[in-house]
Structure 1
Amino acid sequence: MPHNHHDALLGYMDGTRHVYPLVVFYEDTDAGGIVYHANYLAFAERARSAMLNLLGFTNRNVAERHKVAIAVRHCTVDFRRAAQLEDRLTVESRVIKLGGASLGFEQKVMRDGEILVVIEIYLACMSLEELRAQRLPDELRTIFSRYLDVNKD
């Protein structure tokens, strides 16, 4: 069951959205002091992991209990504005698709309410043994169905 709703390191739920704060460090930037494009995917991954943790799961315990891994299947990234060294950002994540073996998220990287990057990412549940698609574990499906938000805003 979800237990750590007040762990500041994991962000917080705001309705169906998960909000994850982060600061841009030197290692996240390129020579010009702006965030290197691939690092937005890392920010988004941190946010999804934090959301999972906040809801009472970890990637490790899901893997151990169900012998599954969640792998990225498809992703689009819309770069609108650059983030820079020491910016304080938030990643807002919404579950937009819940399939038999798949999960879809829309994740917005924001700075002061302004959208910098929009990531749409689709994940597939894979069995660790034969690395084939496998149904999402019921406990994950139950939790994520509570937060499913199909309204485009």
Structure 2
Amino acid sequence: MISDSRFPIPHSQPFSWPTRVYWEDTDAGGVVYHAQYLAFLERARTEWLRALGHGQELLRGSHDLVFAVRAMRIDFRKPARLDDALQVSVALRECRRASLVIDQAIERDGERLLDAEVRVAALDAGRFRPRAIPAALYRELQPLQVRPA
């Protein structure tokens, strides 16, 4: 686990990852292009796993495991713009034997810009077939589940 105080504590919920909007993230009007929000969400999920000590390369190499997005529901509330400092949160809602349901949000200065529900499937990295989450990881994720209010 990362002990550097610059990084969020992964066992606190929700986990939050900072990012900034760059020119490459926006359209000609300086507004974040809708598909770029998917990259922001993906990076936060990746950093959440890394902060738990389970980087995606380690999961693939050591456990033959990858997580793949199965479904996503997004509610775009307000636009992000060039140079905005954003916080992208990750909260584990459900941990099943072979999948996760993750609630995510993007905020700017405490203002909610986007809500997302992301369902990810655990897959065998070599064959891309569904598989169980390794028992040790499953036991670690179980207590991190947060039920919606």
Could you tell me which amino acid in structure 2 is paired with residue 51 of structure 1? W
Kindly provide the CA deviation profile for residues 48-95 of structure 1, in whole angstroms up to 9, marking residues without a partner as x. Answer: 111111111110010011112111100011000000000011011100
Cα contact 2:11–2:144 (8 A) shared by 1 = no
For 2:4, the equivalent position in structure 1 comes to 6
User: Equivalent residue for 1:135?
Assistant: 132
Q: Which amino acid aligns with 2:139?
A: T
What residue number does 1:125 align with?
A: 122
Q: Distance in 2 between matches of 1:73 and 1:120?
A: 11
Note the aligned Cα RMSD (angstroms).
1.5
| Alpha carbons of structure 1 residues 129 and 15: separation in structure 2 relative to 1, 3 Å | closer
2:28 to 11, 21, 31: 31
Q: Using the alignment, how far apart are the partners of 1:32 and 1:148 within structure 2? A: 39
- Unaligned runs of 5+ residues in structure 1 are none
TM-score by length of 2: 0.93
Instruction: Note the alpha carbon deviations across 1:5-31, whole angstroms, 9 max, x for none.
Output: 3263x5444732101111111111111
Query: SS of the residue aligned with 2:41?
Result: helix
Contact 1:81 1:116 in 2 (8 A): yes
TM-score between both structures, scaled by the size of structure 1: 0.91
Task: Name structure 2 gaps, 5 residues minimum.
Answer: none
SS in 2 for 1:43: helix
**CA–CA separation in structure 1 for the residues paired with 2:48 and 2:62:** 19
Aligned pairs (5 A) from 1:92-131: 92-131=89-128
Q: 1:31 to 1:110 in 2, by over 3 A?
A: same
Offset of 1:142 from its aligned partner? Answer: 2.1
